[in-house]
Structure 1
Amino acid sequence: MLAYVARRLLQTVLILLGISLVTFVLLYLVPADPARQIAGRSATAQTVENIRQQLGLNLPFYEQYLRYLTGLLHGDFGRSYLQKTEVAELIRSRLPASLLLMCGAIFCELLLGLTMGVVAALKRGSKTDNGLMIVSFVGVSAPQFVIGILLLYVFAVQLGWFPIGGYGTFKHLVLPSITLGFLGAGWYSRMMRSSLIDVLRQDYIRTARAKGLTRAKILFGHAIPNAILPIIAMIGIDIGLFMSGIVVVESVFGWPGIGQLAWQAIQRIDIPIIMGVTMISAFAIVLGNLLADLIAPWVDPRIKLR
């Protein structure tokens, strides 16, 4: 186990290094001048050049990248060009909201997706199965902002059960979590249905039935633990996606996460913030996949870590 974790951590370092290089290259090639944007349209050429020198934008690419890596090794993500604040501090201030929304969304997608998938598999070919798969298809296909606006209109405006937007209480968390979770629930329900149908055909399930085990023991003791393995891998990916890819939902509900921070930085070509959010999101994805790989043998002891 320790050797496996050490090897994966080494791979994580190499992956993050590659992501940082690719992202830095892309931002370096963007046909925009951050120094000009910071100085303003009325600034003189000398003023723009002075800003460029202060930020190190006049240095060759490899020197800029090495300076960034050196700072990164010391936990320094740089300083925002426009907000004049340390990127680490900006991310730290937004991270709790993003983590809270991520946990809420994963809980909702698992609760909805696994429930629909199990029921659909047990009722295979019935109207219930068809209805649940239609709901899953809608969840996968519908734009998130449409789902969010509909939920706001029904449960916040018409019924008044939840606040229209904001952050700070459990009620603020419910609607954005359901909005994000509804999309994942569509994927999870389809995956769980297919996986569970396949598991229920296996010989050991027939053996369990022949031994006289109850349907509940067969389902929860044998079938679901084996069928849920693909779901665990998907959760690892969702961790990173929910960390940074939820700009639309955050905008609809006024949620102060790092998704909005990243979008604002992209609009202003604020390179340090873009790099910081990208690295945090990449680390979250890699960490999520590692945790998924470590949890899988606990769910199914037949899986060996190598």
Structure 2
Amino acid sequence: MVVYIARRLVQAVLILLGVSVITFALLYMLPADPVRQIAGRSATAQTVENIRRELGLDQPFLVQYGRYLLGILHGDLGRSYLQRTEVSSLIAARLPASLLLMAGAIVCELILGLTMGLFAALKRGTATDQALMVGSFIGVSAPQFVVGLLLLYLFAVRLGWFPIGGYGTFAHLVLPSITLGILGAGWYSRMMRSSMVDVMRQDFIRTARAKGLARSTILFRHALPNAILPVIAMIGIDIGLFMSGIVVVESVFGWPGIGQLAWQAIQRVDIPIIMGVTLVSACAIVLGNLLADLVSPLIDPRIKLQ
């Protein structure tokens, strides 16, 4: 286990290094000039050049990236060009809200997706099965900003059950979590149905039935732990999808997370913030996949970490 984790951590470092190189190179080649955003439209050419020199943006790509990488090794993500604040402080202030929203979304997608997939598998070939699969297809296909606006209009504006936006209470968390969770629930329900149907055809399930075990015991003790494994593997991948979807959802609901921070930085070409949010998102994806791999053997002892 220790050797496996150590090897995965080394791979994670290499992945993050690759992400930083690609992201930095893409931002370096952007036609938009961050110095112009800082200096303003009325700035003289000399002022623009002074700011460029002060920020080190007049240096070649390798020099700029090397300096940035050296800062990361010392725990420094740089300073925001416009806010004049450490990027690590800005992200640390917004990260708890995003993590809370992500946790709520994962809970929603698991409850909705696993329940729909389980019922669809048990009712395979019936109208219930078809209706649930159509619902999952709609959930996967619907744009998140449309889902968010519809939920806001129905449950916040028309019914008044939840606040329109903001952050701080459980009521504020419900609608954005459901908005994010619907997409994953659609994928999970389809995968859960397929996996459950396949597991229910296996020999060990027929043996359990032959022994006279109760239907609930067969379903929840023998079938479900085996059918759920592909879903667990997807959770780590979903963290990356949440990081991309969170930008939209946080904007719709006024949620003060790193998604909003990233969107504001993109609009202003604030490169240090964009780099910082990208690296934090990459870390979340890598750790999510590692956690999924570590949990799988606890559910199915036949799985060996190599």
Normalising TM by the smaller chain, what interval? over 0.9
Look up the match of 1:222. 222
After superposition, what is the alpha-carbon deviation per residue over 1:130-186, rounded to whole angstroms, capped at 9, x for unaligned? 111111011011111111111111111111111010000000000110111111100
Residue type of the partner of 2:80?
S
Look up the match of 1:83. 83
- Give 1:266 deviation, angstroms: 1.0
Note if contact 1:244-1:277 (Cα within 8 Å) is conserved in structure 2: no
- Give 1:244 deviation, angstroms: 4.5
Q: Within 1, Cα distance between the matches of 2:145 and 2:37?
A: 30
Look up the match of 1:96. 96
- Give 1:242 deviation, angstroms: 1.9
Q: Are 1:266 and 2:266 an aligned pair?
A: yes
Please give the residue correspondences for 1:27-176 in structure 2 after superposition, counting only pairs within 5 Å. Answer: 27-176=27-176
Q: Which runs of 5+ in 2 are unaligned?
A: none
Q: Are 1:203 and 2:203 an aligned pair?
A: yes
List structure 1 segments (4+ residues) > 3 angstroms apart after TM superposition.
none
Note if contact 2:144-2:245 (Cα within 8 Å) is conserved in structure 1: no
TM-score by length of 2: 0.98
Residue type of the partner of 2:79?
R
Q: Within 2, Cα distance between the matches of 1:270 and 1:255?
A: 20
Q: Which runs of 5+ in 1 are unaligned?
A: none
Note if contact 1:99-1:243 (Cα within 8 Å) is conserved in structure 2: no
Between the two proteins, the alignment pairs up a number of residues equal to: 306
After superposition, what is the alpha-carbon deviation per residue over 1:237-289, rounded to whole angstroms, capped at 9, x for unaligned? 11233234311111111101111111111111110000000000000000000
Q: Within 1, Cα distance between the matches of 2:213 and 2:56?
A: 70
Note if contact 1:78-1:272 (Cα within 8 Å) is conserved in structure 2: yes
Q: Within 2, Cα distance between the matches of 1:32 and 1:183?
A: 33
**In terms of mean alpha carbon deviation, does 242-251 or 54-63 score higher?**
242-251
- 3-state DSSP class of the match of 1:245? helix
Residue type of the partner of 1:304?
K
TM-score by length of 1: 0.98
Q: Within 2, Cα distance between the matches of 1:149 and 1:57?
A: 40
Note if contact 2:163-2:172 (Cα within 8 Å) is conserved in structure 1: yes
Note if contact 2:144-2:180 (Cα within 8 Å) is conserved in structure 1: yes
Note if contact 2:266-2:274 (Cα within 8 Å) is conserved in structure 1: yes
- Give 1:99 deviation, angstroms: 0.3
- Give 1:87 deviation, angstroms: 0.5
